[in-house]
Amino acid sequence: MAYYYEECSHTFSEYLLVPGYSDSTHIPSNVSLKTPLVKFRKGEEPAISMNIPLVSAIMQSVSDDRMAIALAKEGGVAFIYGSQSIEDEAAMVRRVKGYKAGFVTSDSNIAPDQTLADVIALKEKNGHSTIAVTSDGSANGKLLGIVTGRDYRVSRMSPDQKVSTFMTPLEKLITAPEGTTLKEANDIIWDHKLNSLPIVSADGKLVSFVFRKDYDQHKENPTELLDSQKRYVVGAGINTRDYETRVPALVEAGVDVLCIDSSEGFTEWQSRTIKFVRDTYGDSVKIGAGNVVDRDGFRFLAEAGADFIKIGIGGGSICITRETKGIGRGQATAVIEVAKARDEYFEETGIYIPICSDGGIVHDYHMTLALAMGADFCMLGRYFSRFEESPTNKVMVNGNYMKEYWGEGSARARNWQRYDMGGAAKLSFVEGVDCYVPYAGLLHDNVAVTLSKIRSTMCNCGALSIPELQQKAKLTLVSSVSIVEGGAHDVVVKDKVQH
């Protein structure tokens, strides 16, 4: 006979936090949101911790190298999507690792016989105002000059005008030789009042750029997440099919942490993938796994050797797994049970395995609830897809700016590996949708507001850290009627009045 759970499974909107005692020290500026990303032994420090409890989802429409850089600046980690070629994913990892090292490989390059129209198109595509002019238009061609916004005026020049006629030529540029240290490069930038400094090899080829703004941004982002070489920390998604070739390429590119991207993690395929990583690299390569929704799933992946474990099936805003397959569980109930299993495992073994709540986050306060219920951090897709830094197009829909957003199980992504059950290499039916989300602006501005809410709520609960929140939190289930009571009701809200 089938097993029936006695308790109904619940989602985040069915819970509220009950305030606890807070004294004068409980102010948002005193709250630490530091949290472990990978497992560690009792009494030891984790190999990787984050400064904020947010990671971005392993999705084509969410996590590329640009998102990874923006999120690392805030103290979190992006997991670059794996539903692309091994070479392209590794290249994204390299760009993230190269960015914070200060020496940035130029990704806006043009040949001298191209035109102003090409310059404008390249600027629109990449958003960079500094464009390198090289002999062959590549990132490592012979440097001939640069083009910046100061070199042209669209209103006074023909779109057909050749780049060679208006670029700042090499002889007028200040450059530095390959081998220059970052400190020396920044000194040159300051001494000569430059915005950028090309680094050039002995045979005249462009090696990289050092930008003034990168130095300034470092000072503006005190919580940024860096590795031991002061490069941004970045994650990457892998699947359970081509891991024997994908993992070595990502490790060689410098990835800090991997995560198996799968809709369901309680499978032999995941244990095989983790075993390959352990047999090949030992504990030096960190790998998360999932997704699971109960104690059994957690124990399986913990014993397989996962460095962190993701929770959630069918709760994502673009996920229709529950509708198509009848598989899943309310996200709050799943987090609560897996958190108990994590604590049991810690008591038994002395090994703490962080857990990640993935999906089901609709409002900012849901993140605080997930943390209070035991999650160490949250993985977010829709939330990050709305921002300028996500890889999708910004489009106008009915007079409002929107961003495109689609699930990995949608017909658009066709990421069959994520839903692979060992059968044919294809997506037999969709488990995700293709949609729009309202454009929300820059990641930095939005994340700052979200974290402010989390810190404020933690203070209401008398907690100054995530572990303290998990110890002190008091949670109550709420009825459908009291959910209505929680919003504005029985009034005419001014901004909804038609003028």
Q: What is the pLDDT of residue 430?
A: 58
The model's pLDDT over 173-226, given as tens digits with 9 standing for 90+, comes to 999 999 998 889 999 999 999 999 999 999 999 999 998 887 777 677 889 999
The band of 429, judged by pLDDT with boundaries at 50, 70 and 90, is low
The model's pLDDT over 272-283, given as tens digits with 9 standing for 90+, comes to 999 999 999 999
Cis omega (within 30 of 0) on the bond before 291?
yes
The model's pLDDT over 249-260, given as tens digits with 9 standing for 90+, comes to 999 999 999 999
Pairing of strands 355-358, 308-311: parallel
Averaged pLDDT, 54-63: 96
Percentage of the residues of the chain whose pLDDT score is greater than 90: 78
pLDDT at 427 over 60: no
Percentage of the residues of the chain whose pLDDT score is greater than 70: 94
Averaged pLDDT, 467-495: 89
Q: What is the pLDDT of residue 424?
A: 58
Q: What is the pLDDT of residue 214?
A: 75
Averaged pLDDT, 330-357: 98
Active-site residue set: 319, 418
pLDDT at 426 over 70: no
> Rounded to 10 degrees, what is the CA torsion of 141, 146, 148, 152?
-110
91 CB neighbour count, 10 Å cutoff: 17
Q: What is the pLDDT of residue 209?
A: 92
pLDDT at 416 over 90: no
Q: What is the pLDDT of residue 482?
A: 85
The model's pLDDT over 33-48, given as tens digits with 9 standing for 90+, comes to 999 999 999 999 999 9
Q: What is the pLDDT of residue 499?
A: 46
224 or 426: which carries more pLDDT confidence? 224
Q: What is the pLDDT of residue 301?
A: 98
Least confident segment among 236-245, 317-326, 338-347: 317-326
Average pLDDT, the chain: 92
Least confident segment among 143-147, 179-183, 239-243, 455-459: 179-183
Output the six-digit token pair for 297. Answer: 């799933």
Averaged pLDDT, 99-108: 81
As a whole number of angstroms, the distance between CA 263 and CA 252 comes to: 27
pLDDT at 321 over 90: no
pLDDT at 428 over 60: no
As a whole number of angstroms, the distance between CA 160 and CA 167 comes to: 14
pLDDT at 365 over 90: yes
